Amino acid sequence: MDILTVDMETYYDKDFSLSKMQTDAYVLDKRFEVIGQDYGDVVAAGLEALRTVGRRGADTGKFIMNASEIRALNDVMELHDAQMDVIVLKDMERAIELVNKEYQLRRMTPIVENT
């Protein structure tokens, strides 16, 4: 999967600038806008496939995927690999910090929820 990202600032504010903010704060800000290709549908499909396989596996003890689940997980892994090709260590460290913070705040959804 080849991904090309071009950042063109269409909104200008002396305080809202990637050069003055951390990347995660910049893209999570309400003023940030994605124009063009968004991969949210790929991520959502992959997450749904992962949760479905997890639920089914927890019930049956067999973690066997069907064709659509394999396709969705392959697509999200391809997106993941493309991201890994372009990030730097500092980006990874920020991502890990964000994941840890979300975990501590209990904002994460487990693959299989306890009932």
The rounded distance, in Å, linking the Cα atoms of 36 and 81 is 21
Cβ atoms of residues 86 and 78 within 8 Å: no
Q: Is the pTM of this model over 0.85?
A: no
Domain locations in the chain?
39-104
CB atoms within 10 A of CB 46: 22
The string of pLDDT tens digits covering residues 54-112 is 999 999 999 999 999 999 999 999 988 888 887 888 888 888 888 888 888 888 777 66
